[in-house]
Structure 1
Amino acid sequence: MNSGAPHFSFQDAVIAEAVQQVEETGPLDDAQAMREAIALRSDGAGRILERARRLGQRIGLQDEWARARAASPWILLALVALIVLLGLGLAGNVAGESRSINVVVALTGLLGLHLLTLLLWLLGVVLPLGSLNLSLGWLWLALTARVAGGRHGQAPLLLGAATQLLARARLLPWVLGFASHAIWSLSFAVVLAALLFALAFRSYTLSWETTILDPAFFVRLVELLGRVPAWLGFPVPDAQTVLAPRVASAGQRDWALWLTGCIVAYGLLPRLFFALLCALVWKVRRQALGPELSQPYHRRLLARFEALAPRQIVDADPGSPRHGAPAGPAAGETRDMLLAIGFELPEELPWPPAALDAAGARTLRVDGSAGARREALDLLAQLRPRRLLVGCNAATSPDRGTERFLRELASLSSECRLWLLGSGASQEARDRWHAWLAETGLDRFEASDEAANALRGWA
């Protein structure tokens, strides 16, 4: 059993959130998942995640996640291609036949949408705005969910769970921001490569045009925008180059490098910086994605785990000291019903006896096999009866298998009794059962020989 702090992935956290949302409409059949979680983990958060992992596998959440994970890189590349084509198109069709580029229009086309979305993201980090669902990160997640599962699969459930989980951990703008910044960074890298290739092997005329603005405005604009690229080593066209209607090749080179430097300084580098910042915030805060044990939903699960988990471990060594029976759940955590189990009864002992039918008990016969015991324990975990009556053959001798089974039963019910069946059993055999219950610490099971005593106050 793994103890200590829970180790979980983002997938585990999202699936746990999705299972919680599914159970808001009604609980799932989780008896087997509860038992497996108890067997594998000793901490509360780890058990909750393990239970959700088992239930998620059963309802197909992991398969849907795998499909979304396979589709997500292709969706991202498609968005990068869209941004690149849109940017180059707005920049004036660099590969066109005119061979003339208006640098101001090109710069606006390549950086305008980027700067607008970056400003909206920064505002969304500071203020609770609804603009995040307009970001490339949100578009990427939504398209991935749509491609992976369509409208009616489990992908919309996973998307909603991931969004709610990240929002509660105050990570939603950072995760969506990382996706957006990554898409923009790749887009700028492709744009720069295409732009440099075109400028290196084709001849273009870079200039500016205006009808109403003063030429001095462009001189000042080029100077201001060129300050940050100049720190990176990019040249800035001087006033003479800016004002000349057609400049020599050296001036055209300065224009081309100035345009490239502006894209690097105001496009690529900010996106890379914020992508790294988002990754750092994710690394620092990701533990907040674990289950919040203070939530009523998780408190109920923890109470059930506590009730199911054995309080003590029975040592298989006969010479070891025995422990008391585990305490059962509180009465408020159980249902007002009687469950009667006939355990390892021979064929000549009928089960259920008529007295149980009169008492309105739900009955079950267990042959002692591992599968039958497991089914019985799963049923108890599901029904959570307040009263439990176990019928045993008084003529047999109890063994460690019987002891283990009774201990597990005791952890699932508030009131436990043992009915020693078989009129042909000697008093010595019956006394042996009473002594064995006291020796093993299972005296929570009040033993009776007669139906009237076994059902006293219950019928």
Structure 2
Amino acid sequence: MTNTTLREPAFPDAVITEAIRWTEETGPLDDAQALRIAASRASDGHARITERALHLGERIGLPSEMTRARQWAPWVLLGLVALIVVAGLGLAGNVVGGGERHINVIVALVSLLGLHALTLVLWLVGLWLPAGSFGTASLGWIWLSLTARVAGGKRGQAPLLLRATTGLLTRARLLPWAFGLVSHGIWSLSFAVVLAAMLFALAFRSYTLSWETTILDPAFFVRAVQVLGWGPSQLGFPVPDAATVLSAAPGAAGQRTWAMWLTGCIVVYGLLPRLALVLLSAAVWRSRRKALQPDWSEPYYRKLLARFAALAPAAIVDADPGRMRGAAPARLAPSELQDALFVIGFELPPDMPWPPAALPADAAQVLRIDGSAPARRTLLDQLAQAHPRAVLLVCHAASSPDRGTERFLREVLAHCGECRLWLADANGEGAAGRWIDWLRDTGLERITASDSLDAALQGLSAP
């Protein structure tokens, strides 16, 4: 199955999958049960890896911490927005709150746009540099870090989830855009608050706007006002002419022109770029969000795919070409049998618990063999001496019977009165039908196979 046909996990599941990968960098987790559950619940490799990660993540508390993070994220963002709004109001107050009601337009413009321009340049540079060069200085990073810290506390998995999240964003080339979506949104709100506060103050109070210098040529300010005013003028904002700029005390019309020029500069060089970048970041997020998936080509994931492939039932090995179907060995006479029950675990996975629960109390022997030739010979010697009336052979349902299994069953039948198969860990895979078909095809119909222990034991207990 190609990667294009595989179901990809949702972003929260992808984060947990990556978090488990980082966790296992320091050592593999005990995943025997998780592998079996994932293999039974999912049909393709990537979905199985995700199911395994979710099962392991549940053990160390990752899903619950992700849920808390989603619950806290809006509140942390709201608190961060409140701080930025208060800061914006402070900036506006510094500009229009002076007791002398005198505004130096150049100083006001630098104070309102200076930090914005610096952070915007850093963000733009960060688009071309390696991921994370300026990420930790953005409001988006601050929001994500605070959310993880609040949700996870001091002993939570916040660093692990944060690393997994930023790793996925980096791989999808979305890290600056995701942080930018938050940062530009907060900056836009801040400028909106500043503009609202300034316009309210300028509308209902009288201010004197001018510029001051000690060493610069007045012609510099004339040129600077005209250059900076070009952008706002395209939206209809007025630009002070040279006479107004050079005038020591412009009239009411000149003051109004200065005020609208300052407002237009904040709109054009502050608010509008941030709003445009919010829309651009949202568009990039929508176009690339499907790439927020683990890198399945990583050796870690390739190894997991190989482990899942090894769990899949192999095709049943057919009999040798040209070999005739053999008959089952003849039953032993009742006088040759002893009233004993043998329970034998045959080639079971190492992690399967043994002995099984609910075994009958009259079982004479409860053994487990690995299927090697010496182990088989030792067991067959015991059966030849005991000649038990019944043998319950416990096999792994997902395993595939082959010619070696057939030979072993025939040898067991030659030394007992009845043999039955219990197919453990069937997990609804239809294993019983597969084994029954194989028993019929090999001439071993007298061996009953069942995926239920109770059904396999029915009638085997001592009378």
Pairwise same-fold verdict (TM > 0.5): yes
Contact 2:392–2:419, Cα closer than 8 Å, also in 1? no
RMSD (Å), alpha carbons: 4.2
> How far did residue 424 of structure 1 move?
9.1
> How far did residue 184 of structure 1 move?
1.2
1:200 and 2:206 equivalent? no
Deviations 1:285-344 (A, max 9, x none): 22332122221111121122223344689xxxxxxxxxxxxxxxxxxxx99999976698
> How far did residue 25 of structure 1 move?
1.8
1:213 and 2:203 equivalent? no
Q: Distance in 1 between matches of 2:439 and 2:113?
A: 76
Secondary structure of the corresponding residue to residue 145 of structure 1: helix
Could you tell me which residue of structure 2 aligns to residue 252 of structure 1? Answer: 255
Could you tell me which residue of structure 2 aligns to residue 134 of structure 1? Answer: 137
Could you tell me which residue of structure 2 aligns to residue 122 of structure 1? Answer: 124
Contact 2:222–2:242, Cα closer than 8 Å, also in 1? yes
Deviations 1:169-195 (A, max 9, x none): 332222222222122122112222222
Could you tell me which residue of structure 2 aligns to residue 112 of structure 1? Answer: 114
1:223 to 198, 221, 226: 226
Equivalences for 1:177-192 in 2 at 5 Å? Answer: 177-192=180-195
TM-score when scaled to structure 1? 0.71
Secondary structure of the corresponding residue to residue 209 of structure 2: strand
Q: Distance in 2 between matches of 1:202 and 1:241?
A: 21
Contact 1:88–1:110, Cα closer than 8 Å, also in 2? no
Could you tell me which residue of structure 2 aligns to residue 320 of structure 1? Answer: none
Deviations 1:135-163 (A, max 9, x none): 22222222222222234311121112212
Equivalences for 1:31-430 in 2 at 5 Å? Answer: 31-90=32-91, 92-128=94-130, 130-310=133-313, 346-353=360-367, 395=390, 406-410=396-400, 425-426=416-417, 429-430=418-419
Secondary structure of the corresponding residue to residue 238 of structure 2: coil
> How far did residue 90 of structure 1 move?
4.8
Q: Distance in 2 between matches of 1:79 and 1:343?
A: 57
Could you tell me which residue of structure 2 aligns to residue 441 of structure 1? Answer: 438
Q: Residues 437 and 21 (structure 1 numbering): CA distance in 2 closer, same or farther, change over 3 Å?
A: closer
Could you tell me which residue of structure 2 aligns to residue 328 of structure 1? Answer: none
Could you tell me which residue of structure 2 aligns to residue 10 of structure 1? Answer: 11
Q: Residues 235 and 335 (structure 1 numbering): CA distance in 2 closer, same or farther, change over 3 Å?
A: same
For 1:276, give the aligned amino acid.
L
> How far did residue 93 of structure 1 move?
4.0
Contact 1:342–1:351, Cα closer than 8 Å, also in 2? no
For 2:67, give the aligned amino acid.
A
Contact 1:182–1:272, Cα closer than 8 Å, also in 2? yes
Q: Residues 406 and 36 (structure 1 numbering): CA distance in 2 closer, same or farther, change over 3 Å?
A: closer
> How far did residue 396 of structure 1 move?
8.3
Contact 2:122–2:134, Cα closer than 8 Å, also in 1? yes
Q: Residues 96 and 43 (structure 1 numbering): CA distance in 2 closer, same or farther, change over 3 Å?
A: farther
Contact 1:218–1:242, Cα closer than 8 Å, also in 2? yes
For 2:158, give the aligned amino acid.
A
Q: Residues 194 and 437 (structure 1 numbering): CA distance in 2 closer, same or farther, change over 3 Å?
A: closer
Q: Distance in 2 between matches of 1:11 and 1:355?
A: 44
Contact 2:89–2:197, Cα closer than 8 Å, also in 1? no
Deviations 1:48-99 (A, max 9, x none): 2222223222311122222222333333333334444445545634234332
Could you tell me which residue of structure 1 aligns to residue 324 of structure 2? Answer: none
Q: Distance in 1 between matches of 2:82 and 2:280?
A: 25
* Greater alpha carbon shift after TM alignment, 177-186 vs 14-23: 177-186
Deviations 1:344-403 (A, max 9, x none): 8543223424989x9999xxxxxxxxxxxxxxxxxxxxxxxxxxxxxxx974899xxx9x
Q: Residues 297 and 432 (structure 1 numbering): CA distance in 2 closer, same or farther, change over 3 Å?
A: closer
Contact 1:100–1:204, Cα closer than 8 Å, also in 2? yes
Contact 2:413–2:419, Cα closer than 8 Å, also in 1? no
Secondary structure of the corresponding residue to residue 203 of structure 2: helix
Secondary structure of the corresponding residue to residue 408 of structure 1: coil
Q: Residues 185 and 354 (structure 1 numbering): CA distance in 2 closer, same or farther, change over 3 Å?
A: closer
Q: Distance in 2 between matches of 1:279 and 1:307?
A: 43
Could you tell me which residue of structure 1 aligns to residue 334 of structure 2? Answer: none
Structure 2 runs not aligned, ≥5 long: 317-347, 376-387, 423-432, 445-463
Q: Residues 190 and 152 (structure 1 numbering): CA distance in 2 closer, same or farther, change over 3 Å?
A: same
Contact 1:349–1:422, Cα closer than 8 Å, also in 2? no
TM-score when scaled to structure 2? 0.70
Secondary structure of the corresponding residue to residue 126 of structure 1: coil
Contact 1:4–1:43, Cα closer than 8 Å, also in 2? no
For 1:441, give the aligned amino acid.
W
Q: Greater Rg, structure 1 or structure 2?
A: 2
For 1:77, give the aligned amino acid.
L
* Greater alpha carbon shift after TM alignment, 259-268 vs 51-60: 51-60
> How far did residue 29 of structure 1 move?
2.8
> How far did residue 416 of structure 1 move?
6.2
Contact 2:232–2:264, Cα closer than 8 Å, also in 1? yes
Contact 2:181–2:278, Cα closer than 8 Å, also in 1? yes
